[in-house]
Amino acid sequence: MKIQISTDYAIRILHYLDTHKGMHTATDIADAIDITYPFFIKIANRLKKQGLLSSVQGRNGGYMLGKLAHEISLYDVFMCVEGELQISHCIQKGVPCTQGKSRNCKLHKAWHTLQSKMIEEMSTQYIADLAS
C-alpha cells in the first residue's frame, strides 16, 4: 500500500506552514516543497475545504494553517485527500467479503486489525510532531 503523492504533498504543505510561521504565497510554498503551482492549488483547495488550510486573497494575501498544527493529525490529512482508509475491499462497508462470509473469513479479521492500527497510528501523529 502506498499513499497518494497528493497526500504526501498535503502533509509537506502543512509542515512547511507550521515551521515557517506567518502567511506565504502559493508560489513560495510550491517552490519550497518543489511542486508545480497548479498542483499546489489543487491540493490547497482540498485542504481549505476541510479547514486545514486558510487563505487570504489580495496583494498581501497568502496561505496559513487553518488550525493549530497540534490539532491536525496525519489521518485528518489522509481523509481530506484520499477519503476513508480501506486497505482491502474485504472489509469495505456494504461490500461482501471476498469469501462471501465475512464472519468466517480469516483474512477479514486480519485486514480489519491492520486497518484499525494504521488509522490509530495516523490519528496520533500530528503536523506539529513532524517539526520535532
Domain residue spans in the chain? 5-130
- Mean pLDDT value of segment 82-97: 73
Residue 107: what pLDDT?
80
Residue 72: is its pLDDT beyond 70?
Answer: yes
Name, in order, each residue with C-beta under 8 angstroms of 35's C-beta and a sequence gap of 6 or more.
9, 43
d(CA 39, CA 82): 15
Q: Length of the chain in residues, anyone?
A: 132
Burial classification of residue 63, based on how many CB atoms lie within 10 Å of its CB (0-12 exposed, 13-18 middle, 19 or more buried) = buried
Judge whether residue 106 has pLDDT over 80: no
13-50 residue pLDDT tens = 999 999 999 999 999 999 999 999 999 999 999 999 99
Q: Please, how many CA atoms are within 13 Å of residue 50, restricted to the half-sphere of its CB?
A: 19
Is the CATH number of domain 5-130 1.10.10.10?
Answer: yes
Contact 105, 99 (CB under 8 A): yes
Is residue 111 predicted with pLDDT exceeding 90? no
